[in-house]
Amino acid sequence: MDAQSFQHLLARLDRLTVKQKSIVQHALQISVPRDDLVEAIPDLKSCPHCAADATQLASWGRSGGLQRYRCKACRRTCNALTCTPLARL
CA 73 → CA 29, 52, 60, distances in Å? 44, 7, 14
- 3-state DSSP assignment of residue 2: coil
Residues 10 and 41 in one domain: no
> Which of the 8 DSSP states describes residue 13?
G
Answer yes or no: is pLDDT of 73 > 90: yes
Percent of the chain with pLDDT over 90: 51
Residues 23 and 46 in one domain: no
- Chain mean pLDDT for the chain: 87
Q: What's the full length of the chain, in residues?
A: 89
Of all helices (H) and strands (E), which one includes residue 39? Answer: helix 33-40
At 85, the pLDDT band (50, 70, 90 cuts) reads confident
Residues 26 and 37 in one domain: no
Percent of the chain with pLDDT over 70: 90
Structural domains of the chain, count = 2
More confident residue, 41 or 80: 80
Residues 50 and 22 in one domain: no
| CA dihedral angle for residue 71, residue 73, residue 74, residue 80, rounded to 10 degrees | -30
Does this model's pTM top 0.85?
A: no
Answer yes or no: is pLDDT of 18 > 90: yes
CA 75 → CA 6, 16, 42, 67, 81, distances in Å? 41, 53, 22, 16, 17
